[in-house]
Amino acid sequence: MTEDEWRGGLAPHYDYMLPGKPDDPVMRESASIWLFEENGAFALPRVGIEAMGTNWESHRVDMNAAFPGGRVLVETGGMHASHSPIAADGQPRVLGSGPLRFEVIEPYHRWRISYDGMPIETTSEAMAKGAIDTARTTPLKWDVAIEMVTPCWVQDNTPERLVGLSEREMDDARSMGLGYRMEHQFRGAGTMTLDGETRSFKAVGNRIHRQSVRPLDGFRGHVWQSAVFPDGRAFGYIAYPPAEDGSTYNEGYVFVDGKMHAATATTIPWLNAASLTTEGQDNSLDLAWDGGSAHIAGAGMLNTFKVMSEGEMAGFALNQGSTRYSWDGAQAIGMIERSTWLNKL
């Protein structure tokens, strides 16, 4: 596989950070990871920074940490002073805000992420009910080095790619982001300090980097799933609920025998009322691609939830969690994110 194929056709500089405040006030720089301890001891089902041109001096931090038994540590939407994007070598390798820092070590191949903060102590059950008590916090610190193990999966919504799209297709493009989005699966190793103890861990997961303008006026909800298996096989997809005309966005991939294949999901575990539980959800899916198909069984675990009651997304429910996937007998822990409007549950 060539380096260009590994990058999904993106130029090398796209995996660096913006070197300064963008001219467009609604331009967004975003980096996030979904990390799963390889045996299921804990999960970080979305850790991310959202940097917006309108408020470049402060970036938004989100951090979810989920543990067996329903324990969750969460920092959601806090605004912190942004770090300088310029690393010691003068390159824009850093996206940081308050307790969270992403650093590009080798573009498209190796990153390092660290967190040292005071997240809220809560439970998965309380999150599903929208009843988080923000008064109780717990110190949490972790540091992980990750190495990408699948080629870049790219959503390219740069201006030249948008010519001729229908209004529904434009709604979906805006929901994904007008710009670019990249995603890799990774393996990693690090340390975590919690409850006065420090432990080493090995992990799998996926990381996302995007630079885009992302209005969400037409967002209908979504399902997003991915995982990488011990034998190197991997999958990922994102699907939106069908629009009124029955059409929708449904794109993904499978990585098999060292090759990427474009895929679509034919069975999708949409968010419903039964999904708002700590664990045990049926998150099974089916994928189809040119020349192949797969049924991947999935059992939900280590979940977090957000039930919005205020702002422009009031009435919206979001599940960010983990799933133990099984594909032809092989097992892996991977991610699931899904959302819908509460009146559709």
**102 vs 86: CA distance, rounded Å:** 12
pLDDT: which is higher, 217 or 137: 137
Domains identified in the chain and CATH numbers: 3-8+21-344 (2.40.370.10)
The pLDDT of residue 205 is above 80: yes
CB contact at 8 A, 238 and 223: yes
The reported pLDDT for the residue numbered 277 is 86
Distances (CA, A) of 161 to 170, 180, 197, 244, 278: 11, 11, 50, 24, 40
Return the closest-CA partner of residue 105 out of 93, 92, 91: 93
**259 vs 272: CA distance, rounded Å:** 34
Can you tell me which residue has the tokens 């990488």? Answer: 228
Residue 26: band (very low, low, confident or very high) from pLDDT cuts 50, 70, 90:
confident
Residue 160: band (very low, low, confident or very high) from pLDDT cuts 50, 70, 90:
low
The pLDDT of residue 220 is above 90: no
Question: CB within 8 A of 76, min separation 6: which ones?
Answer: 62, 63, 64, 120, 306
pLDDT: which is higher, 291 or 218: 291
Indicate the range of 54-68, 109-123, 133-147, 205-219 predicted with least confidence: 205-219
The reported pLDDT for the residue numbered 162 is 56
Task: Determine how many CB atoms are found less than 10 A away from the CB of residue 131.
Answer: 11
Question: What whole-number percentage of the chain has pLDDT above 70?
Answer: 90
Token code pair at residue 89:
């070598």
Q: pLDDT, tens digit, for every residue of 73-104?
A: 999 889 999 999 999 999 999 999 999 999 99
Residue 142 three-state SS: strand
The reported pLDDT for the residue numbered 343 is 72
∠ Cα 290 293 299 (to 5°)? 140
Return the closest-CA partner of residue 69 out of 35, 44, 42, 39: 42
**203 vs 124: CA distance, rounded Å:** 22
The pLDDT of residue 25 is above 80: yes
Can you tell me which residue has the tokens 């995007």? Answer: 210
The pLDDT of residue 132 is above 80: yes
